[in-house]
A and B are shown apart, each in its own frame.
Chain A
Amino acid sequence: MAKFVELWVYLSATPLFGLTATIVTYVIAHAVYARLGQAPWANPVLWTVLVLVAVLAITGTPYPTYFAGAQFIHFLLGPAVVALAWPLWLRRAELRRRAGALLVAALVGGAVASGSAVALGWWLGLTPELLRSLAPKSVTAPVAMGIAEQLGGIPALAAVLAVLTGLVGALSAKYLFDALRIAQPEVRGFALGTTSHGIGAARALQVHPGAGAYAGLALGVQVLLATVLMTALGRLLSS
């Protein structure tokens, strides 16, 4: 037993642990998700995060130790944002034709998502630091961190809130759109990508390729709009 504990202490402190745990848990969660007919509540990101948080809490592994391995996956978020140029390029003709409507919808939708979060949070008595971390929550996590930093929020918390927002969208979009009788896959995808960025886009992509492309586009547009508008706001606030 003592030998096993010694071995665990050694293994859990190497980067190998964080990387292996993340990929293995995700692969299993994804298999279960596919098995359950891609039910929204079986979302693989949600369950992978919950299982890993439980494992870290039970074994008393600090987050930095886990991240030493998980950072290799985290790093790929940067190239993934660059890669969004590809689905945009594929649909460039269609997008150019619809650019005006898409831009207006992205601007209004993003402003409603961010503005209502800050207003509601303020009304519920959240601290200014929390409100500043909430503002960029509809933008993909790596970019939300940068914006939160410029606004004077907590970058790591902003990233967690962005992931939570992504999960809320991915889990509930189907029911919301059905209730609102919105049937067009492109509209559903674009709305999901606008508020719930990459996690929403991943969900949209699994449901319908057209919805996925529009969700990817929405995510890209939101990144551009939010960084330009919110950093301008940040400079205004700090000046």
Chain B
Amino acid sequence: MDTLRGFACLLLCQSAGELLARGASLGLPGPVLGMLILLLLLRVEAVRRPVAAAADALLSHLSLLFVPVGVGVIAHLDLVAHYGARLLLVVLLSTWLGMAATALLLRKLWQRAD
């Protein structure tokens, strides 16, 4: 029951986020605003246990949720045939550059702080 209650809470936060995103045209996606709303809501003790149960259930299978989008590559096979090698090269190099930059910078900043 906790998981279901928590899931209801997640959906309510997302709905509030969507309303806020549409209503105030903040440019932020509804789920992101929902996350911020939930972060505020977690100050309420009674919310925590259900949210923990639902969040653990969802986040432990997070990678499954990307499968439908990933399969969507099949709808763009013409682009892949034409630009696939270049796109792969760009994604590979830029991801490595980004990861290296983040990790090296963060290590440096933490070393200085300690």
Interface residues of A (CB under 8 A from B): 18, 22-23, 25-26, 44-45, 48-49, 52-53, 56-57, 63, 66-67, 70-71, 73-74, 76-89, 98, 100-102, 104-106, 108-110, 112-114, 116-117, 120-121, 124-126, 130, 134, 137-138, 141-143, 146, 150, 156-157, 159-169, 172-173, 176-177, 180, 182, 184, 187-188, 190-192, 194-196, 198-199, 201-203, 205, 216, 218, 220, 223-224, 227-228, 231-232
Identify A63's interface contact among B51, B74, B87, B105, CB under 8 A: B74
Q: Is the CB of B66 within 8 A of A45?
A: yes
Main secondary structure of the interface of B (DSSP, over half): helix
Q: Is the CB of A109 within 8 A of B101?
A: yes
Known: A101-B110, A126-B90. A85 touches B101 (CB 8 A): no
Known: A49-B70, A82-B34, A86-B55. A74 touches B99 (CB 8 A): no
- Nearest to A163 among chain B residues (CB) is B70
Q: Is the CB of B27 within 8 A of A227?
A: yes
B75 at the interface (CB under 8 A from A): yes
Interface residues of B in 30-80 (CB under 8 A from A): 30-32, 34-36, 38-39, 42, 48, 51-52, 54-56, 58-60, 62-76, 79
Main secondary structure of the interface of A (DSSP, over half): helix
Interface residues of B in 1-52 (CB under 8 A from A): 7, 10-11, 13-14, 17, 27-32, 34-36, 38-39, 42, 48, 51-52
List residues of chain B with CB within 8 A of the CB of A109. Answer: 98-99, 101-102, 105
B63 → chain A closest CB, angstroms: 4
Q: Is the CB of A182 within 8 A of B103?
A: yes
Q: Is the CB of A177 within 8 A of B103?
A: yes
Identify B72's interface contact among A63, A110, A180, CB under 8 A: A63
18 further contact pairs, Cβ within 8 A, besides A76-B65, A102-B106: A44-B63, A49-B71, A67-B68, A67-B72, A71-B68, A78-B34, A79-B7, A86-B59, A98-B110, A112-B97, A112-B102, A126-B83, A161-B91, A182-B107, A188-B103, A191-B103, A195-B98, A198-B63
User: What 10 A-B pairs have minimum CB-CB distances, sorted nearest first?
Assistant: A113-B98, A109-B102, A117-B94, A70-B68, A86-B55, A191-B103, A202-B63, A81-B31, A101-B109, A83-B55
In the complex, 27 of the A-B residue pairs with CB atoms within 8 angstroms, ordered by the A residue number, are A22-B64, A25-B67, A26-B67, A45-B66, A53-B71, A53-B73, A63-B75, A79-B11, A83-B54, A106-B102, A108-B102, A112-B102, A113-B101, A117-B90, A134-B90, A137-B91, A141-B69, A142-B69, A143-B31, A156-B72, A164-B91, A166-B66, A180-B103, A182-B103, A190-B102, A191-B99, A201-B62
Interface residues of B (CB under 8 A from A): 7, 10-11, 13-14, 17, 27-32, 34-36, 38-39, 42, 48, 51-52, 54-56, 58-60, 62-76, 79, 83, 86-107, 109-110, 113
A161 to B89, CA, bound (A): 12
Q: Is the CB of B27 within 8 A of A86?
A: no
A98 → chain B closest CB, angstroms: 7
